[in-house]
Amino acid sequence: MKPKPICHLPDTHPAYRHYAIHLKPRPGELWAATNRGAVLNSDCGWDEEIRNSDRIGNHRWAARHYFDFSTARKLAEKAAPDVIVNGRTAAELAGGKVTARDDPKLCWFDPKSTKYDQHPRRRRAGEWQALCRTRDGLWVLNTWDDKDNDKHEYIDDAAAVKWLTWNFHRQAVTRWFN
């Protein structure tokens, strides 16, 4: 049976899946605590998991990253509040210190927000945009480029109407503004 993920956020939180630590079986009845491709070490830090072929015979690495189930679970519970996604820890989100009003990036994790992609004919070379309407009615414009620049900013209703119209989302204009 697959163990339930360990997360400092309630499982109903929109960002839960991004912050969840999964316990995964490894050879020799050992377990690894993983989150988005990283594996937890014995110091509650995160390392990139090495390939299977590189693990063979690497007992020192395995001793720092693979544990009996009980130890893996305790380490995951200790590390869960400090898991970071987009610069925010799970503890910050769980404590209500950060909301979509404080950090517009959070709307991208919320399944109740509505997202609109930029029309391909409206794109500039190497730059993309998407617009998100949060569950509480805020508009967040996300602009990113091929140089890993990523910007989230709030825009007002007039700018949202203009962006939606320009990108051929006329049904969205009717839905939200009529």
Query: How does pLDDT run across 15-44, given as a tens digit for each residue?
Result: 888 899 999 998 889 999 999 889 999 999
The candidate with the shortest Cα–Cα distance to 67, out of 38, 22, 25, 36, is 25
pLDDT value at residue 149 = 75
Measured from the Cβ of residue 2, the count of other Cβ atoms closer than 10 Å reads: 8
Handedness of CA 29, 35, 36, 42 (dihedral sign): negative
What does the alpha-carbon distance between residue 112 and residue 108 come to, in Å, rounded to a whole number? 10
pLDDT value at residue 17 = 85
Least confident range of 18-22, 48-52, 133-137: 48-52
Domain ranges in the chain?
Answer: 16-94, 104-177
pLDDT value at residue 159 = 94
Q: Write phi, then psi, for 6 (nearest 5 degrees).
A: -105, 125
Q: What is the mean pLDDT of residues 81-105?
A: 71
Least confident range of 47-56, 99-108, 149-158, 164-173: 99-108
3-state secondary structure of 43: coil
What does the alpha-carbon distance between residue 101 and residue 120 come to, in Å, rounded to a whole number? 29
Q: What is the mean pLDDT of residues 172-177?
A: 92
- Whether the predicted pLDDT of 150 surpasses 80: no
Confidence of residue 164 (pLDDT cuts 50, 70, 90): very high
**154 HSE (CA, 13 A, CB side):** 11
Q: 89 - beta bridge partners?
A: 84
Looking at mean pLDDT, say which of 42-46, 91-95, 133-137 comes out highest: 42-46
pTM > 0.85: no
What does the alpha-carbon distance between residue 96 and residue 77 come to, in Å, rounded to a whole number? 20
Average pLDDT, the chain: 84
Structure tokens at 169: 């989302």
Confidence of residue 2 (pLDDT cuts 50, 70, 90): confident
What does the alpha-carbon distance between residue 7 and residue 21 come to, in Å, rounded to a whole number? 6
Q: Which residues contact 15 (CB under 8 A, 6 or more apart)?
A: 9, 85, 93, 106, 109, 110
Q: What is the enclosing helix (H) or strand (E) of 40? A: strand 38-40
Structure tokens at 45: 């830090």
> Could you report how far apart the first and last alpha carbons of the chain are, in Å?
50
